[in-house]
Chain A
Amino acid sequence: MNIAVCVKRVPLSGGRWVLNADSTDIDTESSFLGFTLSPHEECAAEAAVQLVEANGGSSTVISLGVAESAEQIRDLLAVGIDRGVVVETDGTEWDPQATAAALTEQVRAGVPDVGAFDLVLLGTEAADTADYQVGIRMAHALGWPVVTNVKGLTISEGVARCERAVGSHREVYEVALPAVITVKDGINIPRYPSVPGRIKARKKPLDTVTGERPAPRLEKLRLDLPEVEERSATVLGTGADAVPALVDVFRQIGVI
């Protein structure tokens, strides 16, 4: 089974949000600790590693983004992904339709000297843009079925059994491969790269192709920080001495 995992390099939020001078992007120079992957996508990569461990085959990470996306791919190669592909952009943002088209092209290309992909894994939505659609659009382009929001995944004899959490119960879906599956944080606990893993990762193939951005159809004009009520919590007290004041608050808002 050959698995493609699509991931995206995103800023590692330090809790404070600073925009660049023309408010078109986050100022990553002065306000961020670094870059990472969306949590859902870390889980997608972990799922791919586990599936290949269990069923054999190969795993490929594909990332659309700046050349430095190779850093995040290296981290995934270190936890067991077999190869990586960066679809390099000039740093401008691609809308979901353009992103899906570029990733689909890489999925169609398959794994060199090995064969076609049987499964594409993504996160249900990216941490930054949260468009909730790239995987679905890829499935339509490939003519494959797609299951989203997946929190449990097993594959047996070419059929993927997917569980999705809805309120307090789980829904089960079954699809025949090839398929696209988008997963959610919580489907597994991603492992950390080990030192031997990092050494092995250096020898794994990491290719770069160049992407040409089409005109956006969901066109970002600017970013803003939401107006939040400047709040400073009213301190009710220290330690257990504050308990009577807490009970008063419960009464005031009508929960007791």
Chain B
Amino acid sequence: MILVYADHDLGVLDPLSLQAVTAAKALDTDVQVLVVGADGRGTADELAAHGATTAHLAVHDALTDYTPLAAARAAQQLVNELSPRAVISAGTPRGNEVLAHLGALMDVPMSADTVSITLSGTGNHEVVRNRWGGNLLETAIVHSPVLLATIAPHTVTALESPESVSVREFTPALDPIDTAVRVIERTGAGGGGIGLADARVIVSGGRGVGSAEGFESLEQLAELLGGAIGCSRVVTSAGWRPHSEQVGQTGTKVAPDLYIACGISGATQHIAGCRSAKTIIAINTDKDAPIMGFAHYAVIGDLHAVMPALVEATRAAKG
């Protein structure tokens, strides 16, 4: 059996958790999920549609919002009770955090950002995991009776594999220390825009945009295409755009249908964040920029000339 920690936020499942279930399903037909918090009950059907047979719902008065150590405690109790061969999670900030806590509680290793897993019966599991944001791959042996691993985002396509799920509610034994670190408040909700991680189209700007004002035509195109604005690290360091829009190894890793890279040279740190995009279009004055080795289509030229014309033509094409 494989246990999957399902990352949800107030009952909304992170879609990467479905990729983790599919990855687990490739290792074992028996995939069970841990959902922490009563508000996560509604995620069981979606998880079952992708192959989960049992959803273990950890319910406790103290679990009203994300509480990382308590989630790991709940996972540890299931590991002791059910002896899974592996505990898997999506490589989201929460997935990585909860499995790292679990590794610390159990004093076993944890493989983060994993792209392939070969389980062993003798506690020497082979994994391949990302380094440098996926620019290098590491093959490693995890010496542990139970493998703990998080799955690198967008390396697995979530597949439907409907099962009838039984929801089993349990109350984890928690000490006050387990719930000391928890979300106590949420601020700055919304903002109206489409989140980077979920956007189908991202119009992204780099050094070539030249200024904060230079993003105006990028914003117009993003709005026309129902997309979001992204940017490179240079742009956030210069203060032209907020860090929340940074795409890259230290920013957000995205996988949109279309990624338009405007004035972005394509440093490895940036490519690590956008290489999963289905189509990449580069608009750049430099025909030899590294981005040209990753882009599907390119326009050679100054984005300040191309973008306003592209905005007009797109508006016209939409009618």
Contacts and interface: CB of A to CB of B under 8 A. Distances in A.
Interface of A: 13, 15, 17, 26, 39-40, 95-97, 124-125, 127-133, 136-137, 139-141, 145-149, 151, 163-175, 184-186, 189, 216-226, 231-240, 242-244, 246-247, 249-251, 253-256
B137 A151 contact: no
B97 A148 contact: yes
A189 B237 contact: yes
B189 A219 contact: no
Contact of A226 (B113, B137, B139): B137
A115 to B, nearest CB: 24
Contacts of A247: 310, 313-314, 317
Interface string B227-254: 1000001001101000110100111000
B59 to A, nearest CB: 21
15 contacts: A17-B268, A127-B133, A130-B112, A132-B100, A132-B150, A137-B100, A139-B104, A167-B195, A169-B187, A171-B186, A172-B185, A173-B182, A186-B246, A235-B297, A253-B279
Contacts, number: 256
A137 B292 CA distance: 41
B62 interface: no
Contact of A220 (B100, B138, B306): B138
A168 B104 contact: no
A167 B245 CA distance: 10
Given A169-B187, A247-B310, 7 more contacts: A133-B110, A166-B93, A233-B282, A238-B299, A239-B305, A246-B310, A255-B257
Interface stretch (B20-28, B141-149, B160-168): B141-149
A254 B68 CA distance: 40
Chain B contact-residue range equals: 35 or more
A173 B184 contact: yes
A226 B302 contact: no
Contacts of A139: 104
* Chain B interface, >50% SS class: mixed
Closest 6 CB pairs of A and B: A186-B243, A239-B301, A133-B100, A233-B298, A140-B104, A132-B96
Contact of B136 (A145, A166, A185, A224): A224
Contacts of B293: 231-233
A40 B317 contact: no
B309 interface: yes
A184 B243 CA distance: 10
A140 B197 CA distance: 31
A170 B189 CA distance: 7
Contact of B267 (A15, A175, A186, A240): A15
Given A223-B131, A233-B296, A236-B297, A243 B140 contact: no
Contacts of B244: 165, 168, 186
Nearest to A132: B96
A147 B94 CA distance: 11
Nearest to B258: A255
B103 interface: yes
For A163, A216, A253, A254, the residue with the greatest tally of chain B CB atoms inside 10 Å of its CB is A253
Nearest to A129: B131
A186 B241 CA distance: 11
Contacts of B237: 189
Interface in B49-102: 66, 68, 93, 96-97, 100-101
Contact of A132 (B97, B138, B301): B97
B170 interface: no
Contacts of A249: 279, 281, 297
A254 to B, nearest CB: 8
Contacts of A167: 9, 195, 197-198
A192 to B, nearest CB: 11
Interface string B167-209: 0000000000100111111111111010101101100000000
Contact of B298 (A17, A96, A221, A236): A236
Nearest to A246: B310
Given A130-B113, A133-B103, A172-B185, A250 B299 contact: no
B135 interface: yes
Contacts of B189: 168-169
Which of B144, B186, B198, B278 has the most chain A CB atoms closer than 10 A to its own CB? B186
A70 B227 CA distance: 45
Nearest to A234: B297
B136 A255 contact: no
Nearest to A162: B181
Contact of A234 (B108, B291, B298): B298
